[in-house]
Amino acid sequence: MNRTIKSRVFKTTIVAAAVMGVVGVAQARDQIRIVGSSTVYPFASYVTEEFGAVTEYPTPVIESTGSGGGIRLFCNGVGEGTPDISNASRRIKSSELERCEENGVTDVTEVKIGSDGIVFAQSSENEALDLTLEQLFLAVAAKVPQDGELVDNPYQNWSDIDSSLPDREISIYGPPTTSGTRDAFEELVMEAVSEDMEAYGGEAYTDIRADGAYIDAGENDNLIVQRLAEDTGSFGIFGYSFLVENQQALNASSIGGVEPEAEAISAGDYPIARSLFFYVKNQHAQDVPPLYDYVEMFVSEEMIGEGGYLTDLGLIPLPEAEREQTRARVEERASLQASDLK
């Protein structure tokens, strides 16, 4: 990307506001602190670098902690030592917002930035697969139906699940329990399948096997990608943007005949798709002057719009009307309420 061109887009609107924000703020902290989702991390990192390049403020500090871990840090309280923003590849839970409020974090703005698909990918050395949600569920569930009963998952090879699948050992690198990607996978795959299976009594079942077939690969999705290059018989679960960045090295399975492509994800045709967010601690806005300058840059058309810079990194843009709603919430600094999450 041409840094000069991008700087012209934002400099006239951001720098003046940034300089004015420093004046008269007692003990202000000029560096924004961001935690949260590894899926949102590449997009937020791009914006932080641009923000540092075109404003008088230092580049924000950003850490990939996973959605759950980030929200936990975000909700620990208000003031020095707590983050200003938490990125999330899922929506904040009611219980998490309640904990925020218990700890004095009572004014939070929710910012939806786009959509993303969860991909099930492998080394491009292998032939791409077409899997059903049920086959994927049977590969990762801790207990599966056998003769009308639930038993410990006996499937060792993909061909054990369906003879049409490769005679390869089931080995899947996936996100940990603190990850929003894990939460979304459990909801969109595990819950969706198990609720329709009689053996689970119509209840959602989300327990993932712990016998070595599913490998907790940590919060860094780039590490999963690297492992697939070395362990070419395994699969990985991660966000669509990491597939975009590694198209030569990876191929992704289609799910129910639908490829994980931007148009299919945006239209809701790809079955493992979710929304991406970040959350802003409005109580920090006065003492962290650049906070909303950064937020406004992030939600600008130049970043999240059709053809915006973040689409090159794999962000799936929201429809225009939703993008306008996002910017309206930012302008109003709309405070998220528990009723909004129901």
- Does 272 score more than 50 pLDDT? yes
State the Cα–Cα distance between residues 287 and 12, nearest whole angstrom: 23
Confidence of residue 342 (pLDDT cuts 50, 70, 90): confident
Verdict on whether the full-model pTM lies above 0.85: no
Residues 147-161 as b/e (b if ≥16 CB within 10 A, e otherwise) read eeebeebebeebebb
Phi-psi region of 11 (alpha: psi -120 to 50; beta: other; left: phi over 0): alpha
pLDDT number for residue 92? 96
- Does 218 score more than 60 pLDDT? yes
At 267 the three-state DSSP class reads helix
The C-alpha R_g of the chain, in whole angstroms, comes to: 21
Confidence of residue 8 (pLDDT cuts 50, 70, 90): very low
Give the mean pLDDT of 319-339: 96
The lowest-confidence range among 13-22, 282-291, 321-330 is 13-22
The per-residue pLDDT for range 157-174, each reduced to its tens digit, is 999 999 999 999 999 999
State the Cα–Cα distance between residues 123 and 119, nearest whole angstrom: 13
Q: Which residues have CB under 8 Å from 171's CB, separation 6+? A: 213, 215, 231, 233, 234, 235
Classify residue 58 by its DSSP letter. Answer: P
